[in-house]
Structure 1
């Protein structure tokens, strides 16, 4: 996919990686970008190509309304997400449901709403922003990791199901990026602008998976080995 002239919709567009996606899309010549957020009044891009749009992943009516308002979309970027830092055994079950409802069900509902639009507009592409935590779990983040793992394999299923209509489906994995959601994190973080740059470069080459940083590449490489060795190494490097 060449971004020049495309019409994109980015969820979670008011900050973080979503905002960086919009800036990169504009720089690469997108014709229009729907900036989707639960609070579209917070969208403040000084560019006539940016169209604020309300999308709440937990509100299916808002998703349907967005699809009706944006029938020209050729690129869907499923970026919106949350992080509740909830363990799965002792954590609040409502928070665990919020993680799954947002990352799995919300992303799926948006994708289902826009799949026929992408088909009508020639196929286009779907980008799902995933995580290195799609492939492992870290203490205190069990709910997020489980939801991202579900979203990862849902991405694989969506790719298979949409291939016949010519839609490229890409999963993007990263560790920590310097965004609001990572406030308080003290480990190494990448520049959030690297995420859209690598993703869009991957679309240009037809890549179905983009691994943005060395940490995610290391975690992925570990999947072929004994998980006991990986988790022993992880435990040895935990703070305290």
Structure 2
């Protein structure tokens, strides 16, 4: 899928990776980009090709309205997300549920709304921004990891269901990027611009999964081994000052 002249919609476009997706799409020649946010007044792109649009993943009405307003979309980028830090066992269950409502149900809601739009416009593509935490958990990431794991396998299921209409569905997985959502993380972080670059390069060659960084590649490789060994290694890494 060549991005030139495509019409894209990016969720969570007001900052972080979402903002970088908008900028990279413009750089590569997209003819229009719907930049969405819960508060579209916070969007500040200085390009006439950018169309600000209200979209809140957990508000079904806003999703329906966005799909009705953006009937020309050929590429959907599901980037919006949250990180509550809620523990699965002792944390606020409403916060745990909010993680799942956002990453799984919210992303699926957007896909269901835009799948018919993409079909009418020739199939197009969907990019779901996932995480290395789709494949493992840390003591402080339980609810986020569970929600991202659900979103990862939902991405696989949606890919199969939409293949018949010619929609390419790509999952993008990364460790930590230097964005607001990882502000409290002291480990290595990648430049958030690398995420859309790798993703859109992957779309150009039909890649259904893009591994952005070495950390995520290591996590994926560990899945073939004994999880006890992997988690022992993680405990050692996380204990390092």
TM, length-normalised to structure 2: 0.99
Q: Deviations over 1:169-215 (max 9, x none)?
A: 00000000000111121100000000000000000000000000000
Q: Which residue of 2 aligns with 1:30?
A: 30
Q: Which runs of 5+ in 2 are unaligned?
A: none
SS at 1:164 equivalent: helix
Q: Which residue of 2 aligns with 1:221?
A: 221
| Cα distance in structure 1, aligned partners of 2:185 and 2:154 | 28
SS at 1:33 equivalent: strand
| Cα distance in structure 2, aligned partners of 1:187 and 1:23 | 26
Bigger mean CA offset, 74-83 vs 178-187: 178-187
Q: Deviations over 1:19-77 (max 9, x none)?
A: 00000000000000000100000111000000000000010000000000000000000
Q: Which residue of 2 aligns with 1:196?
A: 196
| Cα distance in structure 2, aligned partners of 1:186 and 1:24 | 27
Q: Which runs of 5+ in 1 are unaligned?
A: none
Alignment RMSD, CA only?
A: 0.6
Number of equivalenced pairs: 240
Question: Alpha-carbon deviation of 1:87?
Answer: 1.2
What is the correspondence of 1:49-68 to structure 2 with a 5 Å cutoff?
49-68=49-68
What is the correspondence of 1:1-240 to structure 2 with a 5 Å cutoff?
1-239=1-239
SS at 1:34 equivalent: strand
| Cα distance in structure 2, aligned partners of 1:65 and 1:59 | 10
Q: Deviations over 1:145-189 (max 9, x none)?
A: 000000000000000000000000000000000001111211000
SS at 2:139 equivalent: coil
| Cα distance in structure 1, aligned partners of 2:122 and 2:67 | 16
SS at 1:122 equivalent: coil
SS at 1:237 equivalent: helix
| Cα distance in structure 2, aligned partners of 1:207 and 1:119 | 20
TM, length-normalised to structure 1: 0.99
